[in-house]
Amino acid sequence: MSDMSGKVALVTGASSGLGAAVAGLLGRRGATVFGVARDEQRLAAVVEQLPGGRYATADIADAAACRDVVARCAADLGRLDILINVAGQHAMRHTVQVTDEEWERDLAVNLTGPFHLCRAAIPHLLEAGGNIVNVASIAGIEGQAYSAGYCAAKHGLVGLTRALAVEYTAQRLRVNAVCPGGMLTPQVTNFTLPDGADPNLVMRVASPRGLSEPDAVAELIAFLASDAAAAVHGAVYTADNGKTAG
């Protein structure tokens, strides 16, 4: 376990699931957490348990909101060392039934929002010698049925991670990604199948070992965000209970 005292971490999606697990773990290891999510009541309940924690409600699909939360974090806490893009959404739909608005929302939340946050955070992270951890999905490295928008966005987030890693190879910034498989979070446990969906296609995403606990995936994210991972840059780690092993 790496001591993260003195570090400031901005964590999106911090109100529940994996984001809440990451925020809690970083806080317990000494980081000051700035949590971001849309649900203020749940977000406050998570962040108020963390010493010195701050939060802001925002919809990361909005570019101005992304800029504002990064600026507020840096202003309120004096620095920014770590950006962890956890927030995302996944709704299964037949591709031919996806509306323009649904497609745009899938990309906005899962890809464009993280881009805006990275762009706003990079000047602060370069100053601090910090790092970015993007939370993609195994849908970012393989196809999944009824998930065209989600897969496209998560593949894009993996590509964004690698592009930034190459661009900043010679500078004081690390960029990595984690691709979780199924986890025991509301996004997975509360999903609904579209009418007429083939359950056999859906279950192709499952690991024989079952769903992962968010706390176990949070451990990997915390490692990548810590100084213990100083040699790790441009990596894309899977945390899927062996689903993509072969």
CB-count burial class (<10 Å; 0-12, 13-18, 19+) for 196? exposed
Q: Which CATH architecture has domain 8-239?
A: 3-Layer(aba) Sandwich (3.40)
Task: Please state the domain extents for the chain.
Answer: 8-239
- Whether 128 has a pLDDT exceeding 90, the answer reads yes
Q: What are the pLDDT digits (tens) for 213-241?
A: 999 999 999 999 999 999 999 999 999 99
Separation between Cα atoms, residue 197 and residue 127, nearest integer Å: 49
Mind listing the pLDDT tens digit for each residue in 33-67? 999 999 999 999 999 999 999 999 999 999 999 99
**DSSP assignment string, 48-68:** TTSTT-EEEE--TTSHHHHHH
Say which of 55, 150, 168, 237 is annotated catalytic.
Answer: 150
Q: State how beta strands 82-85 and 54-57 pair.
A: unpaired
Rounded to 5 degrees, what are φ and ψ at 174? Answer: -110, 145
More confident residue, 24 or 190: 24
Could you tell me how far CA 153 lies from the centroid of its own chain?
12
Is 55 assigned a catalytic role?
Answer: no
- Name the pTM for this structure: 0.94
Percent composition of the chain: helix, strand, coil (DSSP 3-state, to 5): 45, 15, 40
Tell me what pLDDT residue 21 has.
97
Contact of 140 with 155, CB cutoff 8 Å? yes
Question: From edge to edge, which strands make up the β-sheet containing 236-239?
Answer: 54-57, 32-37, 8-12, 82-85, 131-135, 174-180, 236-239
pLDDT of 133-172, one tens digit each? 999 999 999 999 999 999 999 999 999 999 999 999 999 9
